[in-house]
Chains A and B, each alone.
Chain A
Amino acid sequence: MDHKEAYDLIESYAFGTLEAELYPAIQNHLDSGCDECISRLREASELSLRLAQSIPMVDPPARIETRIMDKIRNDRQRIKSPGPLKIQLPYWAAAAAAVLIVALGSGYVALSFQNIKLERRLVETSDVTALLNSPGMQFVDLQGVDPNPQAFGKVVIDPDKGAAVVYMYKLPQTPEGMEYQLWVMHEGKPTSAGVFTVTADGNAMLALNELDDMGDIGSFLVTIEPAGGQTSPTGMMYLTGPNVFHSDN
């Protein structure tokens, strides 16, 4: 489908009234990155959403949720992170009060992690609802590094509150005497955000609070280190995350 054809059908696409057989062609055209059509799609779908605010609200029967959750529970292909994460954070309680100084150009900038508070508890996604409901929320993906490309993670960050939740999945078990260590990178300099081990499934979740200067954080890194952690990374890298708060360099 050429641009002209697609462009004329964008409202129908956004309103959901397109003839069914035409959806893939429009989808392909949008996926080709046509700015004009994408911008028209935004306009039409936002109007559609606005018009939908006028419909009367009706509560759905509770059984719908049960049916949906039953179906996806059987969707083994898609579920990468089974169930609630059971978190073991044996060293985190002791990790508070680390004041870390990062050399930066001519001077020193304190990257304030002095009050990292980590809670040892069962964590589900719903536990971080407050964080998720924060308006300034941002997040980044963490990617597995060879030879463990299956590992991945996600950091949900609220820069205003200085809080973050770090989800990590599919990490290998740590050998005796070793632990993972999370690092926050700033201008290429790592600052420890603590050590952790993973569940039997290879998952971990860290809640970070009272992180000041969140806006200066560049990216995240997970390495394996001798138990108790190091002052700078020495071991193999397992996860890396991109620059979250884009700096222009």
Chain B
Amino acid sequence: MEEKNLEKPGSDDSKEMGVDDILLSLIGDGDPAALSRFYKNKSRFIYSLVLNIVRNDTDAEEITEDVFLKIWQNARSFDRSRGVAMAWVATIARRLAIDRTRSKYYKDRGREVDIESHNADNSENVMVGDNADTTTAGIEAREIKEALDQIGDTHRELIRLSYFEGYSHSMIAEKLKTPLGTVKTRIREAVVQLRGILDVKV
């Protein structure tokens, strides 16, 4: 029996199975119709997430395709005790997109690594906020900006680099000339604070 697919009595992550969980399970069984449904539900979010990082339509298309092929291959390894399905999928998408921005291919195409310059406008959108924007993303962006305003300059900068710019810990340590251990500790603190302020319950 696959224990992980069962509700576990007494476990504190006893969130009910959602549509995403079921579709991932069916995908794990090799059901193309389930993948098609999952694509229809999630592709807009995934594509936007990826495009936001790679800033190029062609790359965003390729990576979105890769994300869904990875989901197809790895749906069986999804473990809902480690977070909701979409968090798992978003991690896959971010990882593939960020890997692309670090790749030789990317540098060769001259679009590189100055992740900061091509993403700056992106994080600025969130950091600055646009009060006229009443889309869901716009409202979320304002809430997140307000939360970021509350966590202090040091922590905010670390979230900017580690989340919005896609820097690894060691890249951040190098950039800020700060010991790696300090970077790790402060990012952790920033995550805890932000979660508290945003009352994250996905």
A residues bordering B, Cβ < 8 Å? 8-9, 11-20, 23, 30, 38, 41-61, 63-65, 67-69, 71-73, 75, 78-81, 83-84, 124-126, 129, 132-133, 135-141, 143, 152, 154, 156, 167, 169, 242-246, 248
Which residues of A sit under 8 angstroms from B32, Cβ to Cβ?
Answer: 69, 72-73, 79, 83
Confirm or deny: B188 has a beta carbon within 8 angstroms of a beta carbon on chain A.
Answer: yes
Confirm or deny: B202 has a beta carbon within 8 angstroms of a beta carbon on chain A.
Answer: yes
Give the nearest-CB partner of B102 in chain A.
A20
Give min CB distance, B30 to chain A, whole Å: 4
8 A-B residue pairs with Cβ-Cβ distance under 8 Å, sorted by A, are A12-B162, A19-B168, A20-B99, A47-B200, A53-B136, A60-B47, A60-B64, A139-B25
Across the interface, do B94 and A55 meet the contact criterion of CB distance under 8 Å? no
Give min CB distance, B197 to chain A, whole Å: 10
B contacts with A, residue count (CB < 8 A): 93
Which residues of A sit under 8 angstroms from B91, Cβ to Cβ?
Answer: 13-16, 45, 48
Known contacts A16-B94, A47-B195, A53-B140; A81/B87 CB under 8 A: no
Across the interface, do A12 and B169 meet the contact criterion of CB distance under 8 Å? yes
Give the nearest-CB partner of B67 in chain A.
A68
Confirm or deny: B9 has a beta carbon within 8 angstroms of a beta carbon on chain A.
Answer: yes
Across the interface, do A132 and B22 meet the contact criterion of CB distance under 8 Å? yes
What is the predominant secondary structure among interface residues of chain B facing chain A? Answer: helix
Give the nearest-CB partner of B80 in chain A.
A42
Across the interface, do A19 and B64 meet the contact criterion of CB distance under 8 Å? no
Which residues of B sit under 8 angstroms from A16, Cβ to Cβ?
Answer: 91-98, 166
Across the interface, do B17 and A56 meet the contact criterion of CB distance under 8 Å? no
Which residues of A sit under 8 angstroms from B9, Cβ to Cβ?
Answer: 246, 248
Across the interface, do A246 and B6 meet the contact criterion of CB distance under 8 Å? yes
B residues bordering A, Cβ < 8 Å? 1-2, 5-9, 13, 16-19, 21-23, 25-26, 29-37, 39-40, 43-49, 51-52, 60-61, 64-65, 68-69, 72-73, 81-84, 86-88, 90-99, 102, 122, 125-126, 135-137, 140-141, 143-144, 162-164, 166-170, 181, 184, 187-188, 191-192, 194-195, 198, 200-202
Known contacts A71-B69, A154-B25; A139/B86 CB under 8 A: no
Which residues of A sit under 8 angstroms from B187, Cβ to Cβ?
Answer: 11
